[in-house]
Amino acid sequence: MSSRIYIAGAGIISAIGNNITENLSALETGRAGMGEMKYLHSAHREKIPVAEVKMDNTALAALSGLPAHYTRTALLSAIAAKEALTNAAIPGFAKLRSGFISANTVGGMDKTENFFSDFLSNPAKGKLRNVVHHECGAATEIVAGILGVKHHIATISTACSSSANAIFYGARLISQGMLDVVIAGGTDALTKFTLNGFNTLMILDNRYCQPFDENRRGLNLGEGAGYIVMVSEKIAQTLPSIPICTLNGYCNANDAYHQTASSPDGTGSYLAMKGALDKSGVKADEIDYINLHGTGTQNNDIAEGTAIKLLFERRYPPMSSTKSFTGHTLGASGGVEAVYSVLSIQYGLIYPNLRFETQMKELPFVPETVFKKGADIRNVLSNSFGFGGNCSSLLFSKV
Amino acid sequence: MYLRAAATISPPVSFEQILTADSSAQSIRLACAEPDYTKLIDPKMIRRMSRIVKMGVAAALQCLDEAGDKMPDAIIAGTAYGCLGDTEVFLQKMVENDEQLLTPTAFIQSTHNTVAAQIALLLKCHNYNNTFVQGGFSFENAITDALSLLKEGQVKTVLAGGIDEITDTSHAILKRFGLYKRAPFATENIFQTQTKGTIAGEGATFFVMQSGASGNDYAQLKGFDTFYKPVSSKEVEQHISAFLDRQNIKRSDIDLVISGENGDIKNDEVYETIYQSALRGITHMPFKHLCGEYPTASAFALWLAANIIKTGKLPSGLPSNKKPSTVLIYNHYRYTYHSLYFLNAC
Amino acid sequence: MADLKKQIIAQLNLKDLKPEDIGDDQPLFVEGLGLDSIDALELIVLLQQEYKIKLANAEEGQSVFRSVRTMAQYITDHQGKAAE
């Protein structure tokens, strides 16, 4: 029995759709999710475009089966995780050793920041139910309950690489025989805290972002959740048909350069991508598509681009940043983009990098600008590079 | 797996202080005994660090120093609350200034991965770096991750730790949830009051873990397990018995149990039950009168157990006719997160 | 410039420094005081908060914040036409 990790299902909710079908349709038709802030009430509403999930909390609650006063982070997580598990349709799931490994950066901050205004004026004020789910791990507890998972739960918070780390932690628990099935990925809701935080770093674009473009101005914040269901080979054999996609390689490296900026030569990015290739045994020229971290900031794109230039030398695979559609979903980005990577293998898809106009002068390659279907996609590399130098790459392969 | 080094910044000043039982503080909120950080951390980096980051980094550096390890193969932190201090600073400014004129330092230092990231930055360590944030399993997941990496065979040493802080704000809010005792007690008496509530604690504890023995280790971590939301104390007993069976341990093989009673009458019920069943007849001691209650307190318990095994000494008041060479830790947090650790002398 | 130095020390939490320790022409970034990109952002907020001057973008900071003197000069030049 091999220790292959099969991807049995996936689920997603983002600014471009509330499930896989809607996301795929938007990716195919080039419909981006950015727009004027509608659901978040911030003083920057008219100045900063964001990529919000197009539902208020009441609607999300109805879809998730959770109470409407729960943190938006948990609502998004529940919707995507449920879709993933339903898709996987694992027979006898309740009897298996299952794990839910999630990730987020904001936790219940969307509620806490409202509590705080009352609390600051008077420490006896503010509704306690708005802070009871403040911790990052609370959303995970809530959703694990809905999924019926009890064997192992965990939440990872390593900024933008959070859900990529969650995915391959879960994979290791399966390959080492601790668990049979893991739902892994991440979630994050838009909050004033993160919006203002990123604004102080002056890396937000006040127009729609242009990743990997010479004239890029910054990123657009987004929100959403993305999960994949991973199973052992033994469980894969009980499914109606053996899944065609596996998690073949992964790596977590640290840039160790600066708290928020990436090193100009992209050390962390290079180590993460190379490590994922080494782990899988797949060679650089066998990669058929790279889902870039590609936030659209000056710093990330040059660091990531430089690392790619070094690693792939002459043969640059097709690549694109789907953040041009979904915005940067922070803790969810690894999960959201893992879902897109799995779909890429399943349907032979290459996604366009929207709004690309001018090649970056330092790089000898450009991202893809046209959606492709039915391509021969055997190996996909997905990058997630975050604050704190936390860099992770996942490598998905067709069996 | 072996505990090569262990360091903590916690309310007790040192293990020696704990041995002499000089710990009758009257407080419902225990605060860490903090070192002079300028002696441990580069001053250029300290200026941005909040209290919890200083605590975490200092404990980690002390631990690495003890292990003689300048570059661990992995750095993994567990923290349930993250960096509360900077979170509050940023939130407060955001509310007061109505989202204007905000500054980046508090924001970037508020992210949960700051401690692990700052350690990597200080060491220029490009290796595996992770942070877990799952309530009472934050530290346990760090250990699970560490064990998994060591088992995979590609790493030799892992720096893993559990860190959580209390701030005035977090304490005020948790107090409103009714978590704490209403009036101060001498802390070693918190277990006799038959009342609700515990005492608040905090700490930063790190370990260097290795897959092979170095000949100079604190202890061997022979067994480790977690279980989540058991429905009854019967289920707890079953988990503990099954754990002991898997390790091939009889009750008579265990010299000491360190357990997580926190003084809250409901919280402590299950420990009473266990001491009459699965763990009856074994010398046992609580630890939360030393460090207080917080989600990653089990890291402190592990540090305490490791020191007891290494020195062979027990806090006064416990029968000391035998040098303890096996210690079992059983702890739960809010009856949701349960963990078991079994250590052997080596 | 002495006031400006005090404000810089406070904003950047340079607890061990006194205004006399910062030379008027001493480079603030990379060498000299060794400040980094986060400090630059903090200084941008300082300008806005204390002097009501808004920098157009982060890159402008590279020349403005070269030294305390260049900062002081920029403030003098722009204070007349202060943004809201």
Q: What is the pLDDT of residues B186-203, one digit of tens each?
A: 666 788 778 889 999 999
Q: Does C81 have pLDDT greater than 70?
A: no
Which chain C residues are within 8 Å of B101, Cβ to Cβ? 45, 48-49
In this predicted structure, what is the pLDDT of residue A287?
98
**Chain A residues close to C45, C-beta within 8 Å:** 200
Q: How many CB atoms lie within 10 A of CB B320?
A: 13
CA angle (B77 as vertex; B76, B81 as ends), nearest 5: 155
How would you classify residue A388: left for phi > 0, otherwise alpha for psi between -120 and 50, otherwise beta? Answer: left
Question: Which one from A136, A245, A251, A293 is the annotated catalytic residue?
Answer: A293
Q: Please, what's the b/e burial string for B208-226 (b: 16 or more CB within 10 A of its CB; e: otherwise)? A: bbbbeeeeebbbbbbbbbb
For residue B188, what pLDDT is reported? 65
Domain hosting C34: range is 2-7+25-83
- Chain B positions contacting chain C at CB under 8 Å are 43-44, 47-48, 101-105, 108
**Residue A144 is encoded by which pair of tokens?**
């694990």
Q: Is the CB of residue C14 less than 8 Å away from at least one CB of chain B? A: yes
What does the pLDDT look like over A95-116, one tens digit per residue? 999 999 999 999 999 999 999 9
The confidence score (pLDDT) of residue B52 equals 97
Q: Which two tokens stand for residue C77?
A: 């030049």
Residues of C in contact with A196 (CB under 8 A): none
What whole-number distance in Å separates Cα of residue A223 and Cα of residue A302? 24
Residue A378 has pLDDT above 50, yes or no: yes
For residue B137, is pLDDT > 60? yes
Q: Would residue A160 show up in a list of annotated catalytic residues for this protein?
A: yes
Q: Verify whether residue A44 is a known catalytic residue.
A: no
Q: Which residues, at least 6 apart from A119, have a Cβ–Cβ distance to it below 8 Å? A: A125, A126, B169, B173
How near does any CA of chain A get to the CA of C37, in Å?
8
Q: Do the chains contact at A202 and C37, CB–CB below 8 Å?
A: no
Q: What is the pLDDT averaged over residues A33-62?
A: 97
How many residues in chain B? 346
Contact B271, B259 (CB under 8 A): yes
Specify the amino acid at residue A149.
Answer: V
Q: Which of C16, C38, C49 sits opposite B43 (nearest CB)?
A: C16
* Residues pairing with B331 in the sheet: B339
Query: Beta partners for A278?
Result: none
Nearest-Cα distance to chain B for C42, in Å, is: 6
Predicted ipTM beyond 0.90? yes
- Strands A289-291 and A319-320, bridge-based pairing: parallel
A251 is catalytic: no
Q: Concatenated DSSP letters for A362-387? A: T-S-----S-B-S----EEEEEEE-G
Q: Is residue C79 in some structural domain?
A: yes
Tell me what pLDDT residue C84 has. Answer: 44
CA–CA gap between residue A254 and residue B124 (Å, rounded)? 9
- Is C30 a domain residue? yes
The model's pLDDT over C38-64, given as tens digits with 9 standing for 90+, comes to 999 999 999 999 999 988 777 888 889
Residue from the list A117, A120, A154 with its beta carbon closest to the beta carbon of B132: A154
CB contact under 8 A, C57 and A201: no
Q: What percent of chain B is modeled with pLDDT above 90?
A: 86
Rounded to whole angstroms, the Cα distance separating A40 from A33 reads 15
For residue C20, being part of any structural domain is answered with no
pLDDT at B24 over 70: no
Backbone φ, ψ for residue A251 (5° rounding): -160, 145
Answer whether residue C45 is part of any domain.
Answer: yes
Mean pLDDT, range A75-93, rounded to an integer: 97
The model scores a pTM over 0.95: yes
Nearest-Cα distance to chain A for B22, in Å, is: 34
Which residues on chain C are in Cβ contact (under 8 Å) with B47? 12-15
Tokens of A31: 């419909």
Query: C67 in a domain, yes or no?
Result: yes
Cα-atom radius of gyration of chain B, to the nearest Å? 20
Does position C18 have pLDDT exceeding 80, yes or no? yes
The DSSP line for B304-335 is HHHHHHHH----TTS--SS---EEEEEEEETT
Does residue C9 belong to the interface with chain B, where contact is any CB pair within 8 Å? no
Query: CB distance C44–A259 less than 8 Å?
Result: no
Q: Give the pLDDT band of residue A398 (cuts 50, 70, 90).
A: very high
In percent, how much of chain A has pLDDT > 70? 99
Annotate A187-224 with b (16+ C-beta within 10 A) or e (fewer). bbbbbbbbbbbbbbbbbbbeebbbbbbeebbbbbbbbb
pLDDT tens per residue, range B149-169:
999 998 999 999 999 999 999
Angstrom distance (rounded) from CA A274 to CA A311: 7
Domain count, chain C: 1
A120 to B96: CB separation less than 8 angstroms, yes or no: yes
Rg, C-alpha atoms of chain C: 12
Could you report the per-residue pLDDT of B84-127, keeping only the tens digit for each?
A: 999 999 999 999 999 999 989 999 999 999 999 999 999 999 99
Q: Are B303 and B290 in contact (CB under 8 A)?
A: no
Residue B317 has pLDDT above 80, yes or no: no
Exactly one of A160, A245, A251, A391 is catalytic; name it.
A160
| Of the candidates B80, B58, B64, the residue with the CA atom closest to the CA atom of residue B138 | B80
Whole-number pLDDT of residue A1 = 59
Asked if residue A210 lies in contact with residue A356, where contact means CB atoms within 8 angstroms, the answer is yes
**Exposed/middle/buried for A361, CB within 10 Å: 0-12, 13-18, 19+?**
exposed
Catalytic residue among A133, A136, A251, A328: A328
Q: Is residue C13 part of a domain?
A: no
Residue A46: CA count within 13 A, CB half-sphere: 0
C44 chain-A contacts, CB cut-off 8 A: 202
Q: How far is A388 from B7, CA to CA, in rounded Å?
A: 23
Q: What is the mean pLDDT of residues A300-313?
A: 96
Lookup result for tokens 């192992």: A152
